[in-house]
Chain A
Amino acid sequence: MPEKQPESATPKRVARARAVLDALEHLVGGLGTAILALAALLWLVLVALTCVVGVGLLLAPTVPRVVRAVAERERARLSRWGPEIIGPEPAPARVRAAMADPAVRRELGWVLVHGTFGISVSLVALTLPINGVQDVTYPLWWRLLSPTDPAPNLVFWSVRDTPDALKVALLGLVLAVAFLALGPGLARLQAWPGRRLLPPSADVDLSLRVAQLSATRAAALDAHATELRRIERSLHDGTQNRLVAVTVLLGATRRALTRDPAGAEAMLERAQDAAEQALAELRTVVRGILPPVLADRGLAGALAGLAADCGVPCRIDVDVPGRCAASVEATTYFVVAEALTNIAKHSQARHATVTVRRQGGALSLRVEDDGVGGAEEHEGSGLTGIRRRIEAHDGLLTLTSPPGGPTTLLVELPCGS
Chain B
Amino acid sequence: MRIVIAEDDPLLREGVALLLRAESLDVVATTDGPDTFLAAVEDHEPDVAIVDVRMPPTHTDEGIKAAVEARRRQPGLAVLVLSAYVEQAFATDLLAGGAARLGYLLKERVGRVEQFLDALHRVAGGGTAIDPEVVAQLLSRSRPDTALDRLTARERDVLALMAEGLGNTAISERLFVTEGAVHKHIRSIFAKLDLAPTDRADRRVTAVLRYLEDTQRRT
* Residues in B whose Cβ lies below 8 Å from that of A236: 54, 84-85
Q: A251-B116, A255-B22 are in contact. List 20 more A-B contacts (CB 8 A).
A: A236-B54, A237-B54, A240-B84, A241-B12, A242-B11, A244-B108, A244-B111, A245-B12, A245-B15, A246-B111, A247-B111, A248-B15, A248-B16, A251-B111, A251-B112, A252-B18, A252-B19, A255-B19, A255-B23, A263-B22
Cβ contact of A251, chosen from B19, B84, B85, cutoff 8 A: B19
* Residues in B whose Cβ lies below 8 Å from that of A248: 12, 15-16, 19, 110-111
CB pairs A–B below 8 angstroms (18 shown): A237-B9, A237-B84, A240-B84, A241-B84, A241-B107, A242-B11, A244-B107, A244-B110, A244-B111, A245-B11, A245-B12, A247-B111, A248-B15, A251-B110, A252-B18, A252-B113, A260-B22, A277-B11
| Residues of chain A at the chain B interface (Cβ within 8 Å) | 233, 236-237, 240-252, 254-256, 260, 263, 267, 270, 274, 277
Separation of A249 and B11 alpha carbons in the complex (Å): 10
Minimal beta-carbon separation of A382 from chain B (angstroms): 20
* Residues in A whose Cβ lies below 8 Å from that of B16: 248
Minimum CB distance partner of A277 in chain B: B11
Minimal beta-carbon separation of B19 from chain A (angstroms): 4
Separation of A277 and B10 alpha carbons in the complex (Å): 13
Minimal beta-carbon separation of A155 from chain B (angstroms): 76
| Residues of chain B at the chain A interface (Cβ within 8 Å) | 9, 11-12, 15-16, 18-19, 22-23, 54, 59, 84-85, 107-108, 110-113, 116
Contact A270–B23 (Cβ < 8 Å) = no
Minimum CB distance partner of B21 in chain A: A252
* Residues in B whose Cβ lies below 8 Å from that of A242: 11
Minimal beta-carbon separation of B90 from chain A (angstroms): 14
- The DSSP consensus for interface residues of chain A is helix
* Residues in A whose Cβ lies below 8 Å from that of B112: 251
Q: Given A237-B54, A241-B84, A252-B18, decide whether A247 and B11 contact each other with a Cβ distance below 8 A.
A: no
Q: Given A236-B85, A237-B59, decide whether A256 and B22 contact each other with a Cβ distance below 8 A.
A: yes
Contact A255–B11 (Cβ < 8 Å) = no
* Residues in A whose Cβ lies below 8 Å from that of B15: 245, 248-249, 252, 270, 274
Minimum CB distance partner of A270 in chain B: B15
Minimum CB distance partner of A278 in chain B: B11
* Residues in A whose Cβ lies below 8 Å from that of B108: 243-244, 247
Contact A241–B18 (Cβ < 8 Å) = no
* Residues in A whose Cβ lies below 8 Å from that of B85: 236
Separation of A233 and B56 alpha carbons in the complex (Å): 13
Q: Given A233-B59, A248-B16, decide whether A241 and B9 contact each other with a Cβ distance below 8 A.
A: yes
Separation of A188 and B186 alpha carbons in the complex (Å): 87
Minimal beta-carbon separation of B150 from chain A (angstroms): 38
* Residues in B whose Cβ lies below 8 Å from that of A263: 22
* Residues in A whose Cβ lies below 8 Å from that of B59: 233, 237
* Residues in A whose Cβ lies below 8 Å from that of B9: 237, 241, 245
Separation of A233 and B18 alpha carbons in the complex (Å): 26
Minimum CB distance partner of A240 in chain B: B84
Contact A267–B11 (Cβ < 8 Å) = no
Interface-centre pick from A237, A241, A256 (highest chain B CB count, 10 A): A241
Contact A255–B113 (Cβ < 8 Å) = yes
Minimum CB distance partner of B11 in chain A: A245
